[in-house]
Amino acid sequence: LKIGTPKEIFPGEARVAMTPESAKQLQKLGYSCLIQSGAGKAAGFSDDAYKEAGVEIVKTAPSLWKQSDIVAKVRQPEDKELGYLTKVKTLISFFNPGGNEAGMEAAKEKGANVIAMEMVPRISRAQKMDALSSMANIAGYRAVIEAGNNFGRFFTGQITAAGKVPPAKVLVVGAGVAGLAAIGTSTSLGAITYAFDVRPEVAEQVESMGAEFVYLDFEEDQQDGAATGGYASVSSPEFREAQLAKFRELAPDMDIVITTALIPNRPAPKLWLEDMVQSMKPGSVIIDLAAERGGNVEGTVADKKIVTDNGVTIVGYTDFPSRMAAQSSTLYATNIRHMMTDLTPEKDGQLVHNMEDDVIRGSTVTHGGEITFPPPPPKVQ
């Protein structure tokens, strides 16, 4: 069969779902690879590099979609792209199934099979296909780089002939995949790094990375801010008050705040309130990685960088992985390639959409003319 990757059409999206390297691996699975001309350009992969890797270059999107049995892309498909689907096609892409009823209906009507990359179950066996994690890792790293770019000072402390420079103080709120990547990057740049999460079990990980876990004055057995299956749930009002009180105390002392707190299927919790922003020093920087889901910070504007009256920069960009398109494309294309490996048990270029397999079943949102979202819970943890 043929697997093809079109150029992303979402404005500003620089990632691509197939790289020359991933194409070589896909060919080892028995597939022919196609790419739309220019699809890799913004991520640093030229048509020539694909050609050298044995990929056929196709001029236009309609032709690419027409010729491909399997289409791998990054962003949730737009209406035009859904229009190219047919009964014999499989689409592998981010799809946002929870908020994309119309997209699922369209794919179902066409009879196409859709694998939504954000639905890959978070079990050990599927980590190699976990694109949410690979993208969150990049977002966390890039958040620190973005903060450094907007912060007019060093991260690390220095004693120089021209004077003594104190180290920057960085607070990371939310220590999931993105938060841990931010913590690692921040400590490696030499900042004094603090981190908070409602899941106290991450404290050890935070400390092993050289950061300080922020504890609340709160009875742990009353804490329901914690977890269901490794994820956060909504905090009790008492817990939230204790958390906000702690942040209020920290705010005047922090140079950089990076927020990454999310609760599955809910808007992002508001954790860094207006008065905390107001009490920060001029020149401080906030990076709100939750901006796409409404933001953790009061005053964040999605996709914008703003400077408050008291001189605090708040960055609400929602495209951090795309801002590191070479890296994110490489990791995403590898996630896709691993998905294809599981879909090709005989390595003979034939896709076997095995709905008995937990990972494939869990990620499939339309199959055989049916909507198959939401999936049943996985059998194996």
CB 331 within 8 A of CB 138: yes
Q: Which is nearer to ligand NAD, 21 or 292 (CB)?
A: 292
The answer to whether residue 133 is catalytic is yes
40 binds ligand NAD (CB under 6 A): no
The one-letter amino acid code at 364 reads T
Shortest Å, Cβ 206 to ligand NAD: 10
269 binds ligand NAD (CB under 6 A): yes
The answer to whether residue 332 is catalytic is no
What number of CA atoms fall less than 13 Å from residue 196's CA on the CB side? 23
Which one of 32, 68, 93, 130 is the catalytic residue? 130
175 binds ligand NAD (CB under 6 A): yes
Instruction: Candidates 98-106, 164-172, 212-220, 257-265: pick the segment binding ligand NAD (CB under 6 A).
Output: 257-265
Shortest Å, Cβ 259 to ligand NAD: 8
Which one of 22, 36, 133, 223 is the catalytic residue? 133
- Farthest-apart Cα atoms in the chain, separation: 71
295 binds ligand NAD (CB under 6 A): no
Shortest Å, Cβ 245 to ligand NAD: 13
The answer to whether residue 127 is catalytic is yes
Q: Which is nearer to ligand NAD, 20 or 316 (CB)?
A: 316
For ligand NAD, which residue of 181, 209, 258, 271 counts as binding (CB under 6 A)? 271
Nearest residue to ligand NAD on Cβ basis? 176
Instruction: Candidates 10-18, 262-270, 301-309, 349-357: pick the segment binding ligand NAD (CB under 6 A).
Output: 262-270
Q: State CA 200 to chain mean position distance.
A: 23
Q: Which is nearer to ligand NAD, 14 or 271 (CB)?
A: 271
Shortest Å, Cβ 188 to ligand NAD: 19
Q: Which is nearer to ligand NAD, 35 or 198 (CB)?
A: 198
The full 3-state SS of the chain, as one line of letters, equals CEEEECCCCCCCCCCCCCCHHHHHHHHHCCCEEEEECCCCHHHCCCHHHHHHCCCEEECCHHHHHHHCCEEECCCCCCHHHHCCCCCCCEEEECCCHHHCHHHHHHHHHHCCEEEEHHHCCCCHHHHHHCHHHHHHHHHHHHHHHHHHHHCCCCCCCEEECCEEECCCEEEEECCCHHHHHHHHHHHHCCCEEEEECCCHHHHHHHHHCCCEECCCCCCHHHCCCCEECCEECCCCHHHHHHHHHHHHHHHHHCCEEEECCCCCCCCCCCCECHHHHHCCCCCCEEEECCHHHCCCECCCCCCCEEECCCCCEEECCCCCHHHHHHHHHHHHHHHHHHHHHHHCCCCCCCCCCCCCCHHHHHHEEEECCEECCCCCCCCCC
176 binds ligand NAD (CB under 6 A): yes
The answer to whether residue 122 is catalytic is yes
For ligand NAD, which residue of 231, 326, 349, 378 counts as binding (CB under 6 A)? 231
For ligand NAD, which residue of 31, 65, 94, 196 counts as binding (CB under 6 A)? 196
The answer to whether residue 231 is catalytic is yes
The site map against ligand NAD for 92-131 (x = CB under 6 A) is ------------------------------x-x--x--x-
- Could you tell me which of 83, 150, 104, 125 has the C-alpha nearest to residue 312? 150
d(CA 233, CA 264): 8
Instruction: Candidates 255-263, 272-280, 303-311, 356-364: pick the segment binding ligand NAD (CB under 6 A).
Output: 255-263
Q: Which is nearer to ligand NAD, 127 or 222 (CB)?
A: 127
- Could you tell me which of 32, 287, 95 has the C-alpha nearest to residue 181? 287
Q: Which is nearer to ligand NAD, 20 or 225 (CB)?
A: 225
Which one of 122, 199, 248, 323 is the catalytic residue? 122
The owner of tokens 């690979």 is 134
Catalogue the active-site residues.
122, 127, 130, 133, 231
Interacting residue ranges for ligand NAD, rule: CB under 6 A: 122, 124, 127, 130, 133, 136, 173-179, 196-199, 225, 230-232, 235, 260-264, 269, 271
